Amino acid sequence: MPKPKANYLGMIIQGSLSTGLEMRLDPAQSVEDLRVGRFVVVEGSGSRFFSMLTDVTLSATNPAILLNPPTGDDFLMSVLSGVTTFGTVKVQPMLMLQKSAENLVGGRAELSPVKTIPSHFSPVYEAAAADFALVFGEEDENDRNNSHFNIGRPLNMEVPVCVDLERFIERSNGIFGKSGTGKSFLTRIFLGGIINKDLASVLVFDMHNEYGWQAMSESKSAPRVKGLKQLFGHKVVVFSLDWESSQARGIPDARELYIGYNQIEIEDLDLLKNELALSEATLENAYIVREKLGSDWISALLDMSGEEIDEFCTTYKGHPTAIKTLQRRLNTIVQKTPYLKPRVGHNYIEEILRQIGAGKHVVLEFGRQNNLLSYMLATNIITRRLHAEYVRQSELYICDPENVAAPRKLMIVIEEAHKFLSPQVAKQTIFGIIAREMRKYFVTLLIVDQRPSGIDPEVLSQIGTRVTALLNDEKDIEAVFTGVSGSQTLRTVLAQMDPKQQALVLGYAVPMPVVVRTRAFDETFYQAVAGREGGWLVGADESDPAVRDEVNSRARRAQSELFGPG
């Protein structure tokens, strides 16, 4: 068979549908140039097979050569190379495209799952730009209806790889990777695309203050990167549980947010029982206290003396030791979470809902209150109320779709997701409910985590798209592939990725798994997703006094519009 095209890699020599194919590498190709995760095309007689390289092996036609290697004889080694010794590569077909005209849908060829394999000696080629466009789609910045978004480049080429963000927001998704692999940068890239294309509103529970105004970077040339507020200006509203911290970091028009004691439910305490060392008996007694003391039960309990607790237990059959323990734990919560107040006059959660309904995007900063206890409590309380309101609005829409508008789609971003979605609590927490059921109520999750093995397998099986940076722990790798067919071949690919700026993307929003060098979160990206017109002084030098004056001026105008003069 002649070797057409310059991007010829080799030919298929054996394989099966269940275990994949084996390619003999062409002598002109160096085995050292191949990388697992590379996208290739196998040209069968009747179909093209879009495939991924999953393993590389050294082989020989005569085992005796390996027992007596021609050490030091460069001429003999070059003679043997590619003939007696050669490289073999595991190729895993992911999609197939029939070449017959009957497979055209609307004038365009239709990709389908792999149901057969190519014949012996089918040629294998490096995928071209047209192949990537055919499989992953193309981004069109001038077409607002085009939901494809460039997330990076393949390992061996300078062509874009796109994700269909319309499909991405339809289901809950996960971004995984061990610490230091750039999960927050990956998250900002996806959020930038969703906001740019206005496909849904996003609510980010920003534990480490990385998404609002700016974040730190390991790059010495650009130690700070812009947050969503800098990129998209008035489209992004920042609420802060530590307003002084947000002001000190220079965030224009950041808004305060407080939570009342009466907004804490026992379900919130149940989520925190490990952090607070709460026993089941203590939680059972909490129900007694709430039933007898009413909606302000926490304030009332905190004000009670030991004698009053004993008297309460005598009257209402409570357990004094358990209730006194509950009182101490509630005091711990109050001391560690300054955003808690006995009573809150303004309905901040309703304000967040109004902003989302108006098409805005919300970042909730924790400032200095970024301990896990504060994060879990506020995130659970706010999300539970959003969930209730979305269920109410969705049911009204379902009952009367002609006269009632559908709720605006919402994607909630949470970090340390395994704390909310562990097998012990996932069935009770609001996040477990959203991951399993809320797609029909227009709400999905984007979970960001370095320990996917800590997440309930039932929840992981509901994750639509998984974007995974490097993981080393076997349990975490196994968890990422929960419910994924053919995952064994992808494990090798994941284990061999670079620790920085590489990710394996698989699931609902991409037709087949692909390893990408993710886009840099830099000035080029800023201009692509926001541009100077749409962003908040995108690309401007923040040390320039004129720029700071403009920022402050805009902040004053926004403050006046929201709260009136003064």
The answer on pLDDT for 412 being more than 80 is yes
- The tokens describing 374, both together, are 């504060």
| 359 shares its domain with 223 | yes
**Tell me, what CATH number does 398's domain have?**
3.40.50.300
Integer-rounded Cα Rg, in Å, for the chain is: 28
| 354 shares its domain with 245 | yes
Confidence of residue 540 (pLDDT cuts 50, 70, 90): very low
Answer for the pair 231, 530: CB distance below 8 angstroms, yes or no.
yes
The answer on pLDDT for 107 being more than 50 is no
Residue 165 forms part of a structural domain: no
pTM recorded for the entire structure: 0.85
Nearest to 205 by CA among 450, 407, 378: 378
pLDDT recorded at residue 75: 61
In Å, how far from its chain's centre is CA 506?
12
CA 176/CA 173 separation, integer angstroms: 10
Answer for the pair 242, 254: CB distance below 8 angstroms, yes or no.
no
- The tokens describing 250, both together, are 């220079």
Average the pLDDT over 145-149 and give the result: 88
CA distances from 358 to 194, 319, 379, 408, 532 (A): 16, 48, 22, 9, 23
CA 86/CA 11 separation, integer angstroms: 12
Per this entry, what is the length of the chain? Answer: 566
Residue 556 forms part of a structural domain: no
Residue 293 forms part of a structural domain: yes
CA distances from 478 to 177, 324, 448, 455, 489 (A): 13, 43, 17, 12, 12
Instruction: State which of 339, 359, 376 marks the end of a domain.
Output: 339
DSSP letter for each residue of 52-74: EEEEEEEEES-HHHHHS--TT-H
| 487 shares its domain with 416 | yes
DSSP letter for each residue of 318-349: --HHHHHHHHHHHHHHHHH-TTEES--SS-HH
| 353 shares its domain with 313 | no
Q: Which domain holds residue 316?
A: 262-339
CA 464/CA 510 separation, integer angstroms: 10
Q: Phi and psi dihedrals of 270, rounded to 5?
A: -60, -40
Residue 31 forms part of a structural domain: yes
| 299 shares its domain with 442 | no
Answer for the pair 229, 536: CB distance below 8 angstroms, yes or no.
yes
- pLDDT tens, residue by residue, 423-476: 888 877 888 888 887 668 899 999 999 999 999 998 998 899 999 999 988 999
CA 152/CA 502 separation, integer angstroms: 9
Q: Phi and psi dihedrals of 308, rounded to 5?
A: -65, -35
Average the pLDDT over 145-161 and give the result: 89
- The tokens describing 125, both together, are 């080629």
The answer on pLDDT for 547 being more than 50 is no
Residue 204 host element (H or E): strand 201-206
CA distances from 152 to 67, 161, 163, 501 (A): 44, 6, 10, 9
- The tokens describing 551, both together, are 């920022």
Residue 207 forms part of a structural domain: yes
DSSP 458: H
3-state secondary structure 223-280: CEEECHHHHHHHHEEEEECCHHHHHHCCCCCCEECCEEHHHCCHHHHHHCHHHHCCCH
- pLDDT tens, residue by residue, 245-257: 888 888 878 899 9
Average the pLDDT over 357-383 and give the result: 90
Helix and strand element counts for the chain (H, E)? 22, 25
| 356 shares its domain with 460 | yes
Instruction: State which of 339, 355, 377 marks the end of a domain.
Output: 339
Residue 252 forms part of a structural domain: yes
Query: What is the SS3 assignment for 385?
Result: helix
Dihedral class, residue 204 (left if φ above 0, else alpha if ψ from -120 to 50, else beta): beta
| 358 shares its domain with 315 | no
Instruction: State which of 318, 339, 360 marks the end of a domain.
Output: 339
CA 463/CA 508 separation, integer angstroms: 9
- Helix ranges, 401-515 (H): 430-437, 457-460, 474-480, 487-495
What's the structural domain count of the chain?
3
Residue with tokens 């206290």: 289
In Å, how far from its chain's centre is CA 89?
31
DSSP 409: P
- pLDDT tens, residue by residue, 43-97: 999 899 999 999 999 888 877 777 777 776 666 667 667 677 888 999 999 999 9
| 33 shares its domain with 104 | yes
Q: How many C-beta neighbours within 10 Å does residue 486 have? A: 18
Answer for the pair 470, 178: CB distance below 8 angstroms, yes or no.
yes
The answer on pLDDT for 524 being more than 50 is yes
| 123 shares its domain with 33 | yes
Percent of the chain's residues with pLDDT above 70:
88
The contacts found for 68-76 with CB under 8 angstroms, 24 or more apart, are none
CA 321/CA 445 separation, integer angstroms: 39
| 273 shares its domain with 363 | no
| CB half-sphere exposure, 275, CA atoms < 13 A | 19
Answer for the pair 40, 9: CB distance below 8 angstroms, yes or no.
yes
Lowest-confidence segment of 242-251, 303-312, 349-358, 412-421 by average pLDDT:
242-251
pLDDT recorded at residue 325: 93
| 227 shares its domain with 278 | no
Residue 253 forms part of a structural domain: yes
Nearest to 56 by CA among 29, 81, 84: 29
Answer for the pair 505, 151: CB distance below 8 angstroms, yes or no.
yes
Q: How many C-beta neighbours within 10 Å does residue 256 have? A: 15
Residue 541 forms part of a structural domain: no
Answer for the pair 378, 366: CB distance below 8 angstroms, yes or no.
yes
| 282 shares its domain with 244 | no
Residue 156 host element (H or E): none
